[in-house]
Amino acid sequence: MKIMKYLSLVAVLLLLVSCNKNGVAQKPIKTELDSVSYAIGMDVAKNVKASFDDFDNDLFIQGFTNALDSTDILLDEAEAQKVVRAYFQKKQQEEMAKRQEEAKANKEAGEKFLAENKTKDGVQTTESGLQYIVLKEGTGEKPTTASKVKVHYHGTLIDGTVFDSSVDRGEPTEFGVTQVIKGWTEGLQLMKEGAKYKFFIPSDIAYGANPRPGGKIKANAALIFDVELLEIVK
């Protein structure tokens, strides 16, 4: 069982930690194998911290040493595997439920924001639900789905949190009109070269329920962008 094999690695780490707390001097890294051993220890520790909010090191080491010498074993192997499997299944279900609640809350917050925003002066709404304000009209050509564009943009969540900004980086970016989220693809085709618009994008034409992992954009988040269409590259 992969989980049990993984936890056996953790046991080695915890034993080393226990020894160091008892006053054993830490070993220096001298060889390639030393470096590999240390790196594995670091990786295991990182995974333990990510997997457990609370962990009883003493009982963990007790179970490890009991299994090594086959004495005073409190759980048989089948029961131990069942306990570990049930724990991670329960944790997975709890995390899934939490994500679903967050996604629902984000959806409701976005819908409320957009419903209020569409009544404000200057806000126009398309059939897809995209809302926009013309900050500055352009005089050039409009891009098509076949175009590549050069833009400056500043993206925030509805609470004002900045998640991406070419303006802050001080460098515009180029991409194909169809290489971005649907709200951008639609919005860019409303603009002429030299224009600057503010987009208010519902989640279903942004990243929906599957934003990029680890980022500031969460599931079902509505997004706001200031976009300046500098030029149509081709």
Q: Reply yes or no on whether 38 is catalytic.
A: no
179: Cβ contacts below 8 Å, ≥ 6 apart: none
175 is catalytic: no
> Looking at the chain, which runs of residues are DSSP E strands?
124-125, 131-136, 148-157, 162-165, 173-176, 196-201, 223-232
Which of 60, 113, 199, 207 is the catalytic position? 207
Catalytic residue among 158, 163, 175, 204: 163
Q: Which residue has the tokens 């989220």?
A: 181
Question: pLDDT averaged over the chain?
Answer: 86
Active site residue 88: no
* Of 60, 153, 197, 199, catalytic: 153
Catalytic residue among 133, 181, 204, 226: 181
**Contact of 150 with 230, CB cutoff 8 Å:** yes
Tell me what pLDDT residue 24 has: 45
Count the alpha carbons within 13 Å of 206 in the hemisphere toward its beta carbon.
27
DSSP secondary structure letter of residue 213: T
Provide CATH code, domain 109-232.
Answer: 3.10.50.40
Q: Which of 164, 175, 204, 226 is catalytic?
A: 164
Q: Is 113 a catalytic residue?
A: no
- Measured CA to CA, the distance from residue 144 to residue 195 in angstroms comes to 15
pLDDT tens across 110-160, in order? 999 999 999 999 999 999 999 999 999 999 999 999 999 999 999 999 999
pLDDT given at position 160: 96
Q: What is the dihedral of CA 6, 9, 14, 16, to 10 degrees?
A: -170
Is 153 an annotated catalytic residue? yes
pLDDT band at 18 (very low <50, low <70, confident <90, very high): low
Q: Any catalytic annotation for residue 76? A: no
Give domain limits for the chain: 2-74, 109-232
Structure tokens at 81: 């595997």
The residue written with tokens 């590999």 in the block is 36
* Residue of 234, 145, 148, 227 whose CA lies nearest to 191: 227
Predicted structure pTM score: 0.69
User: What single letter denotes the amino acid at residue 202?
Assistant: P
**Annotated catalytic residue, options 132, 199, 200, 225:** 225
In angstroms, rounded to a whole number, what is the distance separating the alpha carbons of residues 170 and 175? 17
| pLDDT over 50 (residue 1) | no
Three-class DSSP category at 199: strand
Q: 36 or 54: which carries more pLDDT confidence?
A: 36
